[in-house]
Chain A
């Protein structure tokens, strides 16, 4: 019986791993499309999103079947609940990548109001956070989960700075309003992705310790 449970958990895990690669990868692609102002790449991201959504449903269904047939308890139960929540986070990450792609498509080609400075830094931090949170999950690393969640403040600060600067610019560059709003939105989406990475860290801690923390 125990083996059946472990087989099922392994099956779920391999799907979560695949979903993680797609979701985390979509951010890099979205930002590449953004930096290059490349609508073609942006459209590819939108085309891939249904695959991420499909995986979320598949993993949820596998978890429901696991609950119905194996009655998981204790750490098995906490792991199952964590997975159900993590795939929701990953699905949202995919959506934010799509949102960024939509901004890229709607802006088309344009002259930047000012060179990008903080957004690429933010993107790097956000991707690192998401990847680290997933590593913490797969490697059952509580320390890494806590350390990763702490980085959310840095991302929030960066977003604050970007937001303030662009808000100031919008007053003096009224004709470039669309672009500036687009940049603010991209910052906002990245900031939200970092929040989901933090959520994943919380799930890891719940799974490992049973503590339901808010980081």
Chain B
């Protein structure tokens, strides 16, 4: 079936009636939301609201938690990710993830970047080098590390390590990059670099980012979703959310009037 609907084509993810439980605790309640192609979507909300759970569901990373149960659909380019025909490894290649704390492997900078491509069977040294260079350039790290690719990644600063993780994610040619508070452990300069990087990456990738920083969400994202206790309260253009939110609960949260 080939539906020529530009709205559908522009949506990378179409989440429909998603519910998620950890055992008996419901963490996500009837979430309906679309994530648009080549846009940065920010997800905000207080701790425990379900925002990290939500993005980890998008590449089924959440299933590493044994007691998780879900209902509803998540269409990724029109295909339900929970369908039996969906290959999870392939989904996670296409939908990569960057975490709060930089987590490079205890290997060289080069080996970190080409880890994914190697697992996917690429052995050619020249090709691996090309992938490493392109990925590090995309992650705005190349100039800083090109002369020490064989140094251990642990020798990099926190900000560099996080960009290395982004490079590692890019190296397997994903379509979507999920980021779970990617700058919360970084200083303002390193944060700025990662934010600038995200802005340039959205030309090629779709990004969803969980952040606790209102200013960060306001600065970098195109659309913002506000979650509260498992509900998606409001989802709109970022400028609307931060200048004139429609829901009182959104207003109370972003102005710090909560609770």
Contacts and interface: CB of A to CB of B under 8 A. Distances in A.
Question: Max chain B CB contacts within 10 Å: which of A72, A75, A209?
Answer: A75
Contacts of B243: 73-74, 77-78, 210
A2 B214 CA distance: 15
B64 interface: no
Given A71-B214, A74-B251, A75-B251, A2 B242 contact: no
Given A71-B214, A77-B242, A210-B243, A2 B256 contact: yes
A49 to B, nearest CB: 34
A73 B244 contact: no
B190 interface: no
Contacts of A74: 242-245, 250-251, 254-255
Contacts of A77: 242-243
B235 to A, nearest CB: 16
Interface residues of A, number: 13
| A contact patch SS | helix
Contact of A76 (B215, B218, B250, B255): B255
A1 B244 contact: no
Contacts of A78: 243-244
Interface in B206-259: 214-215, 218, 242-245, 250-251, 254-257
B255 A1 contact: no
Interface residues of B, number: 13
Contacts, number: 33
Contacts of A1: 256
A204 B257 CA distance: 21
B112 to A, nearest CB: 35
A5 interface: yes
A145 B194 CA distance: 45
B236 to A, nearest CB: 12
Interface of A: 1-2, 5, 71-78, 209-210
29 contacts: A1-B256, A2-B255, A2-B256, A2-B257, A5-B255, A5-B256, A71-B214, A71-B215, A72-B255, A73-B218, A73-B243, A73-B254, A73-B255, A74-B243, A74-B244, A74-B250, A74-B251, A74-B254, A74-B255, A75-B251, A75-B255, A76-B255, A77-B242, A77-B243, A78-B243, A78-B244, A209-B244, A210-B243, A210-B244
